[in-house]
Structure 1
């Protein structure tokens, strides 16, 4: 979502040795790797400093060079807020991003390349600028009266939103009132079905080459904001609509952002009708580098999934501090975060600029949505951090223009610099994505935590019908030995380390913050 969240994570660190492996690419559906873009900050195609749809389309070669297979954008619909949550009009694309024609060109080009597109949707809230509010406020007879949740019979008191807020101040000083949509009204249910159905098949020809491949449902809840006003939404709103959407396109994927970030999201998978949820607790565990926390959350996130369901595995997104900030820009630690992100299991999601080690953490500018801008700054295309396409929208006007300075020239964090350095984080992401695609166990193998005798070594196994891969990570800042409960003849995939095999166990010496991966023959 888009508001400040409590995110206090202590981070330890460790490094990684890498060695390549050659194998045939795996094209299974689970080979999907999502690239999550805050599009206002990605690439500006027309010189107005705002990232846009044509800019993304122009950079699809880059995304395919990196190796990602799907794109997830933050909301595209019109809003007064820079992040485009809290809509004015769900049916209109923000003009700063382009036109409907621009959008359709992007979708068709993604599909031509064999890539997928996920649309972020938050239809639970609207601002005072929406036609629903304008027509229905003080007018119970309005055709839009049932679209909004009112606290009185005269439509004078729109209900509050999350955290009981009645509005929000934007980074540019603009304040707007916001209210909750009445998701349990028949009018609202019909509107949402029509809206979601349109984005699945805009021209209605049943071919879906111009439609989304999935939706991200922002701030999904069974009892919206726990107010008791809209209870049982899984049964009354979400499941009925999702069933109808799948009747239109059976391949559509639904991803839920669970509102309770410390929930495993199991209820969404079992009762909410979605295909995937975000592995939030595993994200926090990865960022902690605490073995007990990692074991507990890896098991619950990856080993105890309902059949046919998946978790989205990530280490940063638009709502949390950058991973690079958490590990103070240490290259070895950034590479280990990459390995966790891509090899543990589930469907990986990479936040734009993560592959460069872009940094940033929430600021404290008071009651304003400007606080998250440091986590959403311009993708750093150039060594100088200036030039064609730099989406520096937040530095152009207003009181905040001099406050955001994570994008610094000549700091080694840019695509231009990192492409020239074979040891860079960017090259490492390319290599790890290639390793994932080349090894079927990393793509669609099961996950299992493997025991060992060392409190500072985390070990797990990925296994499918044809391949078994063992991984070991040293969480300590010194070389250590671990005896691992695994049997087999180890062939190096990552790390270049040679375990000793004896009595059905593997003994390995791991360097400080080192990692090894072996295919067990």
Structure 2
């Protein structure tokens, strides 16, 4: 393993660990000399960092303008070096849309992305580097062009008719009138007419995505077969389950919970260590019961809370909120993974949400990698890519090199937000010690080396300074006090009581941070981590 003095000093970030017999004053005197060494890598998947990729925008190997699997395979060394331990792929199945959430063949690879052989090679190459592969599995609905639905539309007596949800128009008049939206969909027309049919079909998201009928045992078995295929025949390590709360209508949450328990049991028969992470975009109270069936759930509440805290420069109840969520989860099961993230492919990018302020974006990342949970990074977040809705512009091409030199840059869309004038390409950022890329890489390295940051408990520390987020993390004998200054001004934290025992300056994001006597000085938008001997 690289020494911290080599890895972090080279990028302008300091990690310090005082010798056991040093006083706090001597720690401060030597604060500019990084002397700590990283321990062995303790952060193992699934308690590690995962990287989300929209294949279409990531790396284009054949210069057709569309990112592809071979391009992605060629960048596995980059991902390994970044320090992530798993890759989540947005849908890769055949589909008529650019986003590919309207699947037409659950057993295939979209031809724009490559072949099944290409994908199996990608999985093998990822595994050879110790990287896991999670694929998006879209089972709430199919695409309108899926052969099942086409058969169902054309023939009311088709064996696939009951694969979908149909109703006479008179019986659903009151449902049509409701026109309700949810956090994950602004669609208000959920029943749709089918040419040549007297009945309407149900499509929660839109008419191009007809919902499957999970009251039909044959549908359930089809989904089991699909899952088995990708785990057994292709070798993926798990699934990100799209729209997990919409398998059954919203007034049947218990049926949703039961379905995912059934699905998990079937997948574990094939692969005992399969990993299932669900998209349940709702309040903690409604999210938590899904942990009986899914190993992990995305923590949307904390995504919003981190963004708001950094945007407003106010710690408020950030730590209390996170602890309350985790405590609530623990009442459902003591075996869960808290999938934390800043933003994903359905939200304005974190850099845009923070008004393109790189210092605030770095602070958001510092919170992500020091709070409990297993962090997810949305591709391009680590280079400060921007993006606002509509969704296409949250999913713009990754910038590997300046445009004239970038043979891998996708061009399927003309970017509006992440251009060469607004975002420095990765190759440029690698040479800049203060870049967003190096900030992410160093925080990931720090987290990967720390038992407390990977597995540790969470306990709020009280600072009486509204702009400071302060909390303790402890695991496997490592006891840390983490301090974040969310403001654009330097702040001081007065240590008292048990906090005085944190006498080692373990990590600082800024060289002029210090600990003198009982005072910790934090420059603007900085992080300081103290360690107890």
Same topology, TM > 0.5: yes
**1:447–1:462 CA contact under 8 A, matched in 2:** yes
2:506 to 471, 481, 493: 493
Q: Aligned-pair distance for 1:212?
A: 1.4
CA–CA distance in structure 2, aligned partners of residues 498 and 327 of structure 1: 27
Q: Distance in 2 between matches of 1:267 and 1:222?
A: 14
Establish whether residue 279 from structure 1 lines up as the match of residue 299 from structure 2.
yes
Which of residues 159, 178, 200 in structure 2 aligns to 1:143?
159
Identify if the C-alpha distance between structure 1 residues 457 and 264 changes in structure 2 by more than 3 Å, giving closer, same or farther.
Answer: farther
Task: State the partner residue of 1:442.
Answer: 453
1:17 shift after superposition: 8.6
Alignment of 1:102-113 (within 5 A): 102-113=118-129
Q: Is the 8 A contact 1:301 1:311 kept in 2?
A: no
1:264 positional shift: 6.9
- Counterparts of 1:146 and 1:79 in 2: how far apart (Å)? 22
TM-score, normalised to structure 1, is 0.83
Distance 1:423 1:475, change over 3 A: closer
Q: Equivalent residue of 1:427, what SS?
A: helix
Aligned length, in residue pairs: 467
Among 503, 512, 523, the residue aligned to 1:511: 523
Q: Please point out which of 379, 382, 385 is paired with 1:355.
A: 382
Q: Superposed, which structure 2 residues align to 1:221-370 within 5 Å?
A: 221=245, 224-226=248-250, 232-235=255-258, 237-260=259-282, 265-269=287-291, 271=292, 273-289=293-309, 290-302=314-326, 304-306=328-330, 307-362=334-389
Between 101-110 and 176-185, report the one with greater CA deviation.
176-185
Please state whether the residue corresponding to 1:177 is helix, strand or coil: coil
Q: For residues 13-52 of structure 1, what are the structure 2 equivalents within 5 Å?
A: 18-20=13-15, 21-30=36-45, 32-52=48-68
Equivalent residue, structure 1, for 2:21? none
Q: Which runs of 5+ in 2 are unaligned?
A: 1-10, 16-35, 177-184, 194-205
**Structure with higher helix content:** 2
Q: Could you say what the CA RMSD is over the residues aligned between the two structures, in angstroms?
A: 2.8
Corresponding residue of 1:13: none
For each residue in 1:309-338, what CA deviation from the matched residue of structure 2 results, as whole angstroms up to 9, or x when unmatched? 111111121011111112233222222122
For the pair 1:405 / 2:416, whether they are aligned, the reply is yes
CA distance in 2, matches of 1:419, 1:475: 26
Whether the 8 Å contact between 2:69 and 2:122 is mirrored in structure 1 is yes
Aligned to 2:179: none
Question: Structure 1: 5+ residue runs without aligned partners?
Answer: 1-15, 169-174, 203-209, 363-370, 396-403
How far is the alpha carbon of 1:46 from its aligned partner? 1.2
* Contact 1:222/1:232, CA 8 A, preserved across alignment: no
Deviation at 1:500, TM superposition (A): 4.9
Query: 1:441 offset after TM fit, Å?
Result: 1.0
Moved more, 123-132 or 25-34: 25-34
More divergent stretch after superposition (487-496 vs 54-63): 487-496
**Counterpart of 2:181?**
none
Give the aligned partner of residue 119 of structure 1: 135
Q: Which SS does the other structure have where 1:298 is aligned?
A: helix
SS at match of 1:178: coil
